[in-house]
Amino acid sequence: MPKLTIIINGKPGSGKDALCDAVIRQGRARKASSIEPIRAIARLGGWDGVKDAKSRKLLSDLKRLFTEYNNLPAKYLSEVYENFLYSEDDVLFVHIRESDQIAAFINGISRKAVSLLVRRPGTEGAMGNRSDDETESYNYDEIFDNDGALEDAEKAFCALVAEMLKKYA
């Protein structure tokens, strides 16, 4: 069975989750985010789940600290990846923002992974935190321009993922 891990990135509001969800609805795909264990920690500290500029900076800073302290985001993604390998799913979308962590993840897994940047007009500009501001600093394998209506974008994205499965898996 072909398996493909796609590291997906893009500015906030570029549509990454909606596009991944479209593929997931077709079946045999899942997603994970390196920020998930950090969100859990932030919730314990009183974060209400709102993604405004202040909370995005909090999450980015916490992620950096836990990466330096015990590499928590990478450990979490490693576990998710191992579970994916033994699953029925063909595609694993992995949300990682930071270039160094994208490279480390790709180098640390047993199969080829592909990096994908999602761009959307109107999402350019600084967000005030390292994680969001450096999304375009990595040399991505593929770029998806999410510049149309949602339904059209979802169809085009599903077609791209199908092509990527043939090309990379």
Mean pLDDT by 10 residues, the chain (169 residues): 92 94 95 97 96 92 96 97 96 96 94 94 84 89 94 96 92
- Give the residue from 89, 99, 93, 84 showing the smallest Cα distance to 114: 93
pLDDT of residue 1: 66
Prediction pTM value = 0.94
Residue-number span of the structural domain to which 40 is assigned: 4-168
pLDDT of residue 153: 95
**Strand (E) or helix (H) holding 115:** strand 113-119
pLDDT of residue 31: 97
User: Counting Cβ atoms within 10 Å, is residue 78 exposed (0-12), middle (13-18) or buried (19+)?
Assistant: middle
Q: CA 137, CA 150: separation in Å to the nearest integer? A: 26
pLDDT of residue 115: 97
Compute and round to an integer the Cα radius of gyration of the chain. Answer: 15
Tell me which amino acid residue 86 is: Y
User: How many domains does the chain fold into?
Assistant: 1
Residue 20 phi, psi dihedral angles, 5° rounding: -60, -40
pLDDT of residue 125: 80
- Give the residue from 157, 167, 160, 165 showing the smallest Cα distance to 2: 165
Q: For position 111, which CATH number holds?
A: 3.40.50.300
